[in-house]
Amino acid sequence: MHIGILQAGHTPPELVEARGDFDAMFADLLAGHGFRFTSWDVERMDFPEGVHAAEGWLITGSKHGAYEDHPFIPPLEAFVRRAHAARVPLAGICFGHQIVAQAMGGRVVKFPGGWSVGRRDYVTADGAPMALNAWHQDQVVEPPETARTILSNAFCTHAALAYPHALTVQPHPEFGNDLIGDYVATRRGTGTYPDALMEQAARDVGRPTDRRAFGDAIARFFLTGEVRLEAPHAA
């Protein structure tokens, strides 16, 4: 299956050589399922010819807000709506989660409760625990009518959404603990993030997450259309 990765952002320059760019992280997360990948740098206005240029689409994270005024935002929203209308499966992560919701009629804000940084515990719609790495302040506060919430916690009510033809998640299953450790090391003390959050994130770097389980859920969605979250704390 051919998956198109729509890059709405990039790994910070100081980390990209060691950790790879976002598209490489997703290729690793989804490895072993028979996918092949093509990337388009939509942040720099490099868009596919149409929604059938790949058999499924994945929108990455970004340093930008979905509600901000950037040239790539309107055409990306239009692409989301066309893909949904054509029933082409679409996954969105962090910014991707937000832009899909916004494009489909939901509301995204800079959350007044502040940042979510590092390993976070969530609960699936079936009541199962799931731990994933997060790095965000923006979040979806009003999902579209076509979406149902399938992952949440007290800080982020709509941490993952399932649509008829889309699966999106606010935290980052593609972020391994090593990358989170790098983010903490390079951003600690900059004044952007509360010290207590960064200290906790640093302490949690060694704890396991369910990133591989969520990667399997994304792969299953692409291959079968089924949304099912299973969380055996694996890696």
The three state secondary structure string of the chain is CEEEEECCCCCCHHHHHHHCCHHHHHHHHCCCCCCEEEEECHHHCCCCCCCCCCCEEEECCCCCCCCCCCCCHHHHHHHHHHHHHCCCCEEEECHHHHHHHHHCCCEEEECCCCCEEEEEEEEECCCCEEEEEEEECEEEEECCCCCEEEEECCCCCCCEEECCCEEEECCCCCCCHHHHHHHHHHHCCCCCCCHHHHHHHHHHCCCCCCHHHHHHHHHHHHHHCCCCCCCCCCC
Assign residue 41 the CATH number of its domain. Answer: 3.40.50.880
pLDDT for position 232: 65
pLDDT for position 226: 94
Does the pLDDT value for residue 235 go beyond 90?
A: no
Give domain status of residue 187, yes or no. no
Which residues does residue 20 pair with via DSSP β-bridges, in sequence order?
Answer: none
Give domain status of residue 191, yes or no. no
Q: What percent of the chain has pLDDT over 70?
A: 98
Give domain status of residue 235, yes or no. no
User: What are the tens digits of pLDDT across the range 41-100?
Assistant: 999 999 999 999 999 999 999 999 999 999 999 999 999 999 999 999 999 999 999 999
Give domain status of residue 197, yes or no. no
Domain with 47 in it: 2-174+210-224
Give domain status of residue 14, yes or no. yes
191: confidence class by pLDDT, cuts 50, 70, 90: confident
Distance CA 106, CA 143 (A): 5
Give domain status of residue 112, yes or no. yes
pLDDT for position 230: 79
> If you average pLDDT over residues 96-105, what whole number do you get?
98
> If you average pLDDT over residues 138-166, what whole number do you get?
98
pLDDT mean across residues, the chain: 96
pLDDT for position 18: 87
- What's the number of domains the chain is made of? 1
